[in-house]
């Protein structure tokens, strides 16, 4: 008999704030949910039209996907991130980025003898995916902290979830050199790459970081945030062609295929920058309103130079802050969702509607 889910995985983080959510929902003006980075704005018309036009799709899609999808990713990376030298053979479309990260250690054949390094404050799925494969896990932000170990897989995330920190070129170059020396695979989660606020994010695939070689490195990208694509489940991974080819072969057996209409929508989304620029403007305005409101209410906002979140603290345990906010009808994510180092913080998403953002600001102004 297999072990129950509760023995194999930690509690799903958002389940642990269910009581706070119930209290916040009871507010006379309703809930302001800033706990999840879920897009709420409409999927762009150009994307919806592409999906509709490809709706007659009676046959199975392929795991690799058509060249048009992969080339659209190549073109986008060159145009928006300055990545040169990629071809369609360096790219694989995925069923959202979370499924890739959750399944990557398993699909790479890693197991109990392998070490996976995740950031000290990190998207929980990095660790969950590693533990799902039976791997050892170490939370570390520097090569010094990793010590003499020889990891199989190292994750970096910039701009980072939850705290919005942006890793510079020198740091990324140093980490990549270190992983290459040890034969480890470096996986950079870059799903917020177009959302740098106080600094300019850089892809690990940029020549200033990788030296023009994609050996030993992958970058994970998502359309969920830039194109309000979360419900479509479309993303891609790019980098080391040998690793990409290995993933394709494994995923053929497992049936990980992006639906044909979604592939068409991905091409349209990646080819159009105008909607992404407009979404960026929208998020910048919401960020400004919420940052001012939280700081005026006595919070300290740390890092937060990129991504779609404010990393905030009142100088108390984050769970106490969750309760304080819930009394005002506001729900945030507890910082300890992302690691012990976040226990005195909360993560505030600015992906709510303009009306709900304004409501949160008004309630905080009354404190």
Q: How much is the pLDDT for 148?
A: 83
* Tens-digit pLDDT profile for residues 342-357: 999 999 999 999 999 9
Q: What share of the chain is helix, strand, coil (3-state, %, to 5)?
A: 45, 15, 40
Question: What is the chain's mean pLDDT, rounded?
Answer: 96
Q: How much is the pLDDT for 146?
A: 86
* Tens-digit pLDDT profile for residues 19-51: 999 999 999 999 999 999 999 999 999 999 999
Q: The dihedral of CA 61, 62, 64, 67: what is its sign?
A: negative
Asked if residues 143 and 178 have their Cβ atoms less than 8 Å apart, the reply is: yes
Q: Which of 166, 225, 307, 317 is nearest to 41 (CA)?
A: 225
Same domain, residue pair 202 and 256: yes
- Rg for the chain, CA atoms, rounded: 20
Same domain, residue pair 196 and 267: yes
Tell whether the model's pLDDT for residue 184 goes beyond 60. Answer: yes
Distance CA 159, CA 197 (A): 10
How many structural domains is the chain composed of?
Answer: 2
Phi, psi for residue 208 in degrees, rounded to 5: -65, -20
Q: What is the DSSP letter of 42?
A: P
Same domain, residue pair 224 and 98: yes
CA diameter of the chain: 58
Domain termination residue (choose one: 213, 248, 272):
272
260: helix, coil or strand? helix
- CATH at 72: 3.40.640.10
* Tens-digit pLDDT profile for residues 84-136: 999 999 999 999 999 999 999 999 999 999 999 999 999 999 999 999 999 99
pLDDT band at 149; cut points 50, 70, 90: confident
Same domain, residue pair 59 and 187: yes
Domain with 130, as residue range(s), is 45-272
Neighbours of 45 (CB within 10 A): 10
Tell whether the model's pLDDT for residue 277 goes beyond 80. Answer: yes
Quote the pTM value.
0.96
Q: What is the DSSP letter of 152?
A: S
Pairing of strands 217-222, 235-239: antiparallel
Q: What angle do CA 238, 80, 36 make, to 5 degrees?
A: 75
Asked if residues 215 and 90 have their Cβ atoms less than 8 Å apart, the reply is: no
Q: How much is the pLDDT for 4?
A: 61
Same domain, residue pair 138 and 81: yes
Same domain, residue pair 286 and 331: yes
List, in sequence order, every beta strand (DSSP E) within 174-231.
185-189, 217-222
Distance CA 215, CA 217 (A): 6
Same domain, residue pair 263 and 312: no
Phi, psi for residue 101 in degrees, rounded to 5: -65, -40
Distance CA 242, CA 350 (A): 38
Q: Does an H or E element contain 60, and which?
A: none
Asked if residues 147 and 114 have their Cβ atoms less than 8 Å apart, the reply is: no
Q: How much is the pLDDT for 367?
A: 81
Query: For the chain, what percent of residues have pLDDT higher than 70?
Result: 98
Asked if residues 120 and 141 have their Cβ atoms less than 8 Å apart, the reply is: yes
Asked if residues 236 and 91 have their Cβ atoms less than 8 Å apart, the reply is: yes
Domain termination residue (choose one: 272, 303, 324):
272
Helix segments in 191-298, DSSP class H:
207-210, 241-254, 260-271, 274-296
- CATH at 282: 3.90.1150.10
Same domain, residue pair 34 and 59: no
Domain termination residue (choose one: 272, 292, 310):
272
Q: What average pLDDT does the segment 324-328 reach?
A: 98
Give counts: helices (H), strands (E), the chain. Answer: 14, 13
Same domain, residue pair 33 and 50: no
Tell whether the model's pLDDT for residue 180 goes beyond 70. Answer: yes
Query: For the chain, what percent of residues have pLDDT higher than 90?
Result: 93
352: helix, coil or strand? coil
Asked if residues 93 and 314 have their Cβ atoms less than 8 Å apart, the reply is: no
Q: Put residue 220 in one of left, alpha, beta given phi > 0 → left and psi -120 to 50 → alpha.
A: beta
Same domain, residue pair 67 and 155: yes
Lookup: tokens for 240: 């080391």
Q: What average pLDDT does the segment 289-317 reach?
A: 98
Asked if residues 221 and 235 have their Cβ atoms less than 8 Å apart, the reply is: yes
Q: What average pLDDT does the segment 322-340 reach?
A: 97
């Amino acid at each position: 008999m297999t072990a129950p889910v509760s023995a194999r995985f930690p509690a799903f983080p958002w389940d642990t704030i269910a009581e706070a959510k119930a209290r916040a929902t009871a507010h006379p003006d309703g809930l302001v949910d800033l706990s999840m980075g879920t897009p709420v704005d409409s999927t762009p018309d150009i994307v919806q039209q592409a999906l509709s036009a490809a709706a007659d799709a009676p046959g199975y899609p392929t795991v690799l996907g058509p060249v048009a999808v992969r080339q659209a990713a190549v073109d986008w990376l060159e145009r928006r991130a300055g990545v040169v030298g990629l071809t369609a053979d360096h790219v694989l479309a995925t069923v959202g980025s979370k499924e890739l990260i959750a399944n990557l250690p398993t699909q790479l054949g890693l197991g109990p003898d392998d070490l996976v390094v995740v950031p000290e404050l990190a998207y929980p799925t990095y660790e969950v995916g590693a533990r799902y494969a039976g791997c050892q896990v170490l939370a570390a932000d520097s090569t010094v902290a990793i010590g003499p170990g020889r990891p199989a897989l190292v994750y970096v995330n910039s701009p980072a979830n939850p705290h919005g920190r942006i890793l510079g070129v020198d740091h990324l170059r140093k980490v990549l050199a270190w992983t290459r020396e040890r034969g480890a695979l470096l996986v950079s989660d870059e799903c917020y790459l177009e959302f740098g606020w106080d600094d300019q994010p850089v892809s690990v695939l940029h020549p200033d970081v990788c030296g023009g070689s994609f050996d030993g490195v992958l970058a994970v990208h998502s359309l969920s945030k830039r194109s309000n694509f979360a419900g479509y489940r479309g993303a891609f991974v790019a980098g080391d062609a040998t690793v990409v080819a290995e993933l394709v072969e494994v995923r053929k057996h497992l049936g990980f295929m992006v639906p044909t209409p979604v592939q068409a929508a991905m091409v349209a989304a990646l080819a159009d920058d105008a909607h992404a620029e407009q979404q960026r403007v929208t998020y910048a305005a919401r960020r400004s309103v919420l940052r001012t409101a939280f700081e005026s209410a006595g919070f300290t906002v740390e890092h937060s130079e990129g991504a779609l979140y404010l990393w905030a603290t009142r100088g108390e345990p984050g769970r106490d802050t969750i309760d304080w906010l819930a009394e005002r009808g506001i729900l945030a994510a507890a910082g300890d969702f992302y690691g012990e180092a976040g226990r005195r913080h909360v993560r505030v998403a600015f992906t709510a509607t303009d009306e709900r953002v304004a409501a949160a600001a008004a309630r905080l102004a009354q404190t």
